[in-house]
Amino acid sequence: KNEVEQSPQNLTAQEGEFITINCSYSVGISALHWLQQHPGGGIVSLFMLSSGKKKHGRLIATINIQEKHSSLHITASHPRDSAVYICAVSDNYGQNFVFGPGTRLSVLP
């Protein structure tokens, strides 16, 4: 069974700072997902990646398959980025999702 870990557990940053959230997993996967959950509970899928790097606006996600590690970066952070960021992996069949515990980010103005 895949184990997914995230660090840090909590993160407080000042507006404008560069932020990195890390995710590691124990077993080979077909894809890794970064999700964003706002205080109301709604979840938005930010990225799905199986290799390399993806960029969307101020968000960048990278994955190193050999090291079983992924990072989510937020450039020029803003208070509206405050949320819980969850890493999830799907197995070789692409259907069984295992979630990390989440990283709670607070960006202060």
Partner 1 sequence: EAGVTQSPTHLIKTRGQQATLRCSPISGHTSVYWYQQALGLGLQFLLWYDEGEERNRGNFPPRFSGRQFPNYSSELNVNALELEDSALYLCASSLRNEQFFGPGTRLTVL
In this structure, the strands spanning 4-7 and 52-56 are: unpaired
The reply to whether 61 sits near partner 1 by the rule CB under 8 A is no
- Pairing type for strands 103-108 and 10-14 reads parallel
> Roughly how many angstroms between the first and final C-alpha of the chain, as a whole number?
41
Contact present, 77 and 107 (Cβ < 8 Å): yes
Residues 20-39 that bind partner 1 (CB under 8 A): 30-31, 33, 35
When asked if residue 94 is in the footprint of partner 1 (CB under 8 A), the reply is: yes
Nearer Cβ to partner 1 (60/98): 98
- Tokens encoding 51: 């290799």
Smallest distance, partner 1 to C-beta of residue 85, A: 12
Binding stretches for partner 1 (CB under 8 A):
30-31, 33, 35, 40-45, 48, 86, 88, 90, 94-102
